[in-house]
Amino acid sequence: MSVFKKLKLKNYMMIIALIGIWIIFEILTGGYFLTPRNISNLFRQSIFVSLLAIGMVWVIVLGHIDLSVGAIVGLSGGILGILDVWYNFNPILSFIIVILLGAVFGLWNGYWVAYRDIPAFIVTLGGLLIFRGILIGITKGTTIGPLSDFYEAIGKGYVNKTLGLVLGIIASIILVILEMRAWKRRKKYNLKALSLKLEILKLTVYISLIMAFVLILNSYRGIPIFSLVMIALLLVFIYISKYTVFGRYIYASGGNKEAAIISGINVKKITFIVFIINGIMAALAGIFLTSRLDAASVASGNGAELDAIAACVIGGTSLMGGIGNVFGAVIGAIVMSSLDNGMSLMNVPMFWQSIIKGLVLIFAVWFDIASKKRD
């Protein structure tokens, strides 16, 4: 058995594809794409879609879809702008209020899907129209800004470079501890596990990527503040998915709903909670986008639901349910942002950008289906 087969190279195909995209754009842009400044801009652009994709993964794993997240992004941003600019609310208080309202929006969707058995496509399509209409009504169709210094800091600020380096080292240490603990557990119970040499090789690659990420961003302005929020949430969602009963229930419900019900899993409750979480993530994305733009606009979030769904699918989430992971969704979001960023640097017309992104989405799904058939 080859080293590549042992490492299950197929599981890392999206990362390999991402690196390939970067190399192509680096060549086509004459060496500008991989400059620290552009990499920093790329990751800042990807945070928005990543936040939406992290929340969307569990919805799709359950076999549902949420078309309202883009409208929730816009409405959350509009409410934030009203509280912060028109009424001068305390920034922390307005932040909390918007997050709670995001949970309410998700609760609205989840109630109709989980307890009234209305297809999620219809419920969230209706939600898209409702939330977008509310946004236009409460803002009177105007752009609201600029925001207070607090939101400018979280939207455009960067972490101190020394602190960023320390955080990178801490993240590397935690990764080694968790990976080695998992490796020892698999060995203890005679489960399939890599040899010690391959495990060390894998960890070396991971640590190299973490430190390269920190050093490249530090060579410009540092790590964007909100990227730390996104990374923290990513780790939380990964932990819940892999190591908690709730996470296992999500995948069991999406993989075989009838079997899950027979096993005693409250599928309705799981669905309800997942939609609430998705609403919170959309509200958080709305806060970030509004902070980055330093204004709330009725156009904010338009089409964002499609980018989030595309990021999940490109990252390996099956629209049939039961399969998907948040890390893959974030990689998918970075792929989407890389395509946008690279084609913009090349001054590719917008219609070609849309066509190419659509082709990439179709190819990613085709590749996933073809690989499963070979297995």
Q: In this predicted model, what pLDDT tens digit does every residue of 67-85 receive, in sequence order?
A: 999 999 999 999 999 999 9
Q: How many CB atoms lie within 10 A of CB 117?
A: 8
Q: What is the pLDDT of residues 215-263, one digit of tens each?
A: 988 998 888 888 888 989 998 998 899 889 999 999 999 989 999 999 9
Burial of residue 235 (number of CB atoms within 10 Å: 0-12, 13-18, 19+): middle
Burial of residue 107 (number of CB atoms within 10 Å: 0-12, 13-18, 19+): middle
- Residue 8 has a pLDDT of 54
Q: How many residues does the chain have?
A: 375
Q: What is the pLDDT of residues 196-206, one digit of tens each?
A: 888 888 889 88
Q: Per the structure block, which two tokens stand in for 247? A: 């996470």
User: What's the CA gap between 67 and 267, in Å, rounded?
Assistant: 21
Q: What own/partner pairs with CB < 8 Å and gap ≥ 24 does 96-101 have?
A: 98/283, 98/286, 98/287, 99/280, 99/283, 99/284, 99/287, 101/76, 101/283
DSSP for 236-301 reads HHHHHHHHSHHHHHHHHHHH-HHHHHHTT--HHHHHHHHHHHHHHHHHHHHHHHHHHHTSB-TTTT
- Residue 145 has a pLDDT of 87
User: What's the CA gap between 45 and 39, in Å, rounded?
Assistant: 10
Pinpoint the alpha helices (H) of the chain. Answer: 3-6, 13-28, 36-61, 69-81, 91-110, 120-139, 149-156, 161-188, 196-218, 225-243, 245-255, 257-262, 267-293, 304-314, 326-345, 350-374
- Residue 357 has a pLDDT of 84
Tell which residue, 281, 277, 293, 225, has the closest CA to residue 78. Answer: 293
What residues pair up with 144 in beta bridges, in sequence order? 296
- Residue 319 has a pLDDT of 83
Q: Which residues of the chain have pLDDT under 50?
A: 1-7
Contact between residue 42 and residue 227 where contact means Cβ atoms under 8 Å apart: no
Tell which residue, 46, 127, 38, 77, has the closest CA to residue 307. Answer: 46
Contact between residue 167 and residue 218 where contact means Cβ atoms under 8 Å apart: no
Cα R_g (the chain), whole angstroms: 21
- Residue 3 has a pLDDT of 46
User: What's the CA gap between 350 and 131, in Å, rounded?
Assistant: 27
- Residue 373 has a pLDDT of 64
